[in-house]
Each structure stands twice: as structure tokens, then as C-alpha cells.
Amino acid sequence: MGILVYIIDEHTAVRRNLVRRLSAADKVQVVGDSGDALAALRDLSALHPDVLLMEVKMRRADGIDVCSRAAKLDDRLKVVVNTSHVDAEERRRVQQAGGVAYLLKDLDIPGLVERLRALTEGQGLPADDRVV
């Protein structure tokens, strides 16, 4: 079955492109996606993905709060922030909220899949990607 991924990003074009590209990757299954973070939290409880890939910069919700709430839903869920630029304070807040990785959106799909696999298999990530 592979890695089960759920994606939250308010930017429809970005989210749909990510869904399309990850769905084409070997051993990755996108089980859902949403631009509405609060609806996504309900989906996560029902779908039980391995990874939540999310952007925390949101207009309609507090992304750090969503990260925290998602991390508390299921001990197995890996909350991974996918962002367009590094912000040291945001990275610190993601860590405090229970996020496990802080990845840049310019990472290619093979690199993203490699990191998702490493997380779900309990392996380490490159230092630049970790939130600790």
C-alpha cells in the first residue's frame, strides 16, 4: 500500500499539483487533500494517514494550531510542514506543536518521497529538514 499522505494547502493550484505528482510516485497514496484546515482535521480522524503534509501559512486558520491539533489526533501521524521559505521562528513553533519535519516546497518529488519514507520508517532526516 505504501505511505498514506494527506495534504493541506490553501493554494488550490499548489495542492492539486502536489496531489498529482505524489500520486504518481511509487508506494505513495494520497488519501485526501483540502484547502480547508478545519475540514481536514475531521478527514484525518477518519482516514488515518501516515503523513500530513501541510503549509502552516494560512489565511483562514492558524496553521501552527492546526499542526498541533493534527499531531495530537494520532501518535503515528507524522506532521510535515511544506513551506515556500524558511522562517526560524515558525520552524521553532512547528517543533513545539508536534511537527517532525520542515521542508521547502522547492524540494523535488523524489526528494520529498525519500524524506517521507525515512520518516515513516523511523530513519533520520538531513539536519536542514528536521525541526529539532
Cβ density class 21-41: b for 16+ within 10 Å, e for less: ebeebeebebbbbbbebeebb
pTM for this entry: 0.92
Q: How many residues does the chain have?
A: 132
Residue 125 has pLDDT above 90, yes or no: no
Q: Is the pLDDT of residue 131 over 80?
A: no
pLDDT, position 132 = 43
Q: What is the DSSP letter of 106?
A: T
78-83 and 101-104 strand pairing: parallel
The pLDDT confidence band at residue 60, using thresholds 50, 70 and 90, is confident
Q: Does pLDDT of 27 surpass 90? A: yes
pLDDT tens profile 65-107:
999 999 999 999 999 999 988 889 999 999 999 999 999 988 8
